[in-house]
Structure 1
Amino acid sequence: MSVFWQIPQYVLVGIGEVFNQISMLDFFYDQAPDSMRSICVALALLTISLGSYANSFILTMVNRATGWIPDNLNEGRLDCFCWLLVGLCLVNLAVFVYCASRYRYRRSSIQC
């Protein structure tokens, strides 16, 4: 199998990250008090690094505990790992929906 099969996945991930980062920075800039905007932007960028560390941690723990990801991927159980990631995404979605439903927006300071 060619490595070029990964191109569509990386393109979609890149597009998703662009939409995510722009929306997150816009939200923080609009909803944060004027005195905390730079801190909120820094926290937005911190989430990217925390996500990378969490990804490495989850991959390491799953590999140690289950052996789903061996050196030869043809002998592994990547389907189980992907289902684990789906479960984590659903938990994240539930937390997001809960937090978003309880959030009260500040009056927007940006005039359209």
Structure 2
Amino acid sequence: MSVFWLAPQLVVMGLCEAFVALGQIEFYNKQFPDHMRSLGNSLFFCSFAGASYLSTMVGSIVHRVTGTRSNPDWLTNDLNAGKLDYFYFLLAGMGVLNLFYFMICAHRYRYKVSAVQVGDKLINLTVK
């Protein structure tokens, strides 16, 4: 089996991350106050660092919790002895929980109100 079977999935994931990054930076630039835009952009890059630490922590916890004396842990070097499918089920479950958390946050979020001067009137607009 060739490693190139992974190429389509990795290309799609790279494109997804690129578009998400652009949208997230655009969101920070529009929704943060003007004097805090650089802070929003720095939080964007700090989120990558935090995600790396969290993924390492999840891997370490899975190694520590799932391994017993009679059975190797889920992420052992021997793929025939390990339970890699259980690990991916765990990641999928965490993704579903993250989706629900996102839906709650997105439902409760209120966009920043901006004002536009039209003639003598000041009209408040909600950016959507």
Q: State the percentage of identical aligned residues.
A: 40
Which residues in structure 2 correspond to 1:53-92 (within 5 Å)? 53-66=53-66, 67-92=73-98
Read off the aligned partner of 2:3 and give its amino acid letter: V
Gaps of 5+ in 2: 67-72, 116-128
Q: Does 1:107 align with 2:113?
A: yes
Gaps of 5+ in 1: none
Question: How many positions carry a matched residue from both structures?
Answer: 109
Pick closer, same or farther for the CA change 1:42–1:57 going to 2, 3 Å: same
Coordinate RMSD, CA, aligned = 1.5
Higher relative contact order (CA 8 A, sep 6+): 1
Q: CA deviation at 1:107?
A: 3.1
Aligned-partner SS, 1:41: helix
Paired with 2:11 and 2:58, the residues of 1 have a C-alpha distance of 23
Kindly provide the CA deviation profile for residues 2-32 of structure 1, in whole angstroms up to 9, marking residues without a partner as x.
2222212211221121121111101000000
More helix by share: 1
Moved over 2 A (4+): none
* Larger radius of gyration between Structure 1 and Structure 2: 2
Distance 1:76 1:5 in 2: 22
Residues 108 and 47 of structure 1, relative CA distance in 2, 3 Å threshold: farther
TM-score (norm: length of structure 2): 0.79
